[in-house]
Amino acid sequence: MPDASRRSIFITGAGSGIGRATAVLFASRGWFCGLFDIDAAGIAETARLLGPAGHTTGILDVRDRTAWTGATAAFHAAAGGRFDVLMNNAGVGRHGWFEEISAEDSDWILDVNVRGVMYGIRAALPLLEATPGARILNVASAAALYGSPRLAAYSASKFAVRALTEALDLEFERKGIRVVSLMPYFVETPILDMGTGPASNHVMRDEIMAGGMSVYPVELAAERAWQAVHGQQTHVTVGRDAGRTRFAARFTPNALRRALSKSLRRLG
């Protein structure tokens, strides 16, 4: 029988990266985890890392509004009627000049990163509302702090996630639900390998390495996710550089713009 006293977290994009690391951390601290992803092999590997008990799995394309209803209901039942945290982590991107990214890929980014988050919140809301102290954790990005060149569509999608988080945190106060976000800088996940398209020979990781920029371990993101779920901040950054970007975007935006413009000139 499901243990109704055990807190639970539903994680999208749990087949790799931040989603997987968060599942491993929360499971190690006694939480029941719902592992959902479009990647069946990735989900199986995450489940293996968690061991034979304390989780449920499912294939979920976050763009499928109907599928969300079934996934959240199945998780709720497996978790003993609890739904403590919805973690909207699934995300995609393309990296390159705006005109190099196809219209179809731009639509894909918005569909996964924005509509997928909204679909998840709508589907889970009644179940979250019925669980005292529930939270929604939306994974945004440091790209939501200042418009990020060569990540225009991705940055726009994460700005939308940031705005949605702030609006719903105020709206859902009347429902007893906090809505918070995670804002990672570059973290060692598969998304660093995004290029202008699926067969791109030049990916974002190349520019990060060439520019000497920091890449933070995925375990740090998981620990910060834990803090976001248990703390009082609306937005929780991951990595010192994310904190610096947040400060610069707020207090010295012109200096940040000049630094970004200088970096772009090196790319031609």
The predicted-structure confidence for 51-74, as pLDDT tens digits, reads as follows 999 999 999 999 999 999 999 999
Per-residue model confidence (pLDDT) at position 201: 73
As a whole number of angstroms, the distance between CA 210 and CA 207 comes to 5
Tokens standing for 209? 């390495």
Catalytic annotation, pick one of 119, 146, 154, 185: 154
Domains of the chain (ranges plus CATH)?
8-265 (3.40.50.720)
Per-residue model confidence (pLDDT) at position 1: 58
* Residue in this structure with the two tokens 């690391």, named with its chain if needed: 21
The answer to whether 154 is a known catalytic residue is yes
pTM of the model: 0.95
Per-residue model confidence (pLDDT) at position 268: 60
User: HEC string of the chain?
Assistant: CCCCCCCEEEEECCCCHHHHHHHHHHHHCCCEEEEEECCHHHHHHHHHHHCCCCEEEEECCCCCHHHHHHHHHHHHHHCCCCCCEEEECCCCCCCCCHHHCCHHHHHHHHHHHHHHHHHHHHHHHHHHHCCCCCEEEEECCHHHCCCCCCCHHHHHHHHHHHHHHHHHHHHHHHHCCEEEEEEECCECCHHHHCCCCCCCCCCHHHHHHHCCCCCECHHHHHHHHHHHHHCCCCEEEECHHHHHHHHHHHHCHHHHHHHHHHHHHCCC
Do the beta carbons of residue 181 and residue 135 sit within 8 Å?
A: no
* Number of residues in the chain: 268
Tokens standing for 207? 């520019």
Per-residue model confidence (pLDDT) at position 4: 72
251 contact partners, CB below 8 Å, separation of at least 6? none
The predicted-structure confidence for 94-131, as pLDDT tens digits, reads as follows 999 999 999 999 999 999 999 999 999 999 999 999 99
> Would strands 8-12 and 178-184 be described as parallel, antiparallel, or unpaired?
unpaired
Regions in the chain scoring below 50 on pLDDT: none
Tokens standing for 240? 């010192």
Per-residue model confidence (pLDDT) at position 187: 94
With 0-12 / 13-18 / 19 or more C-beta atoms within 10 angstroms meaning exposed / middle / buried, residue 139 is buried
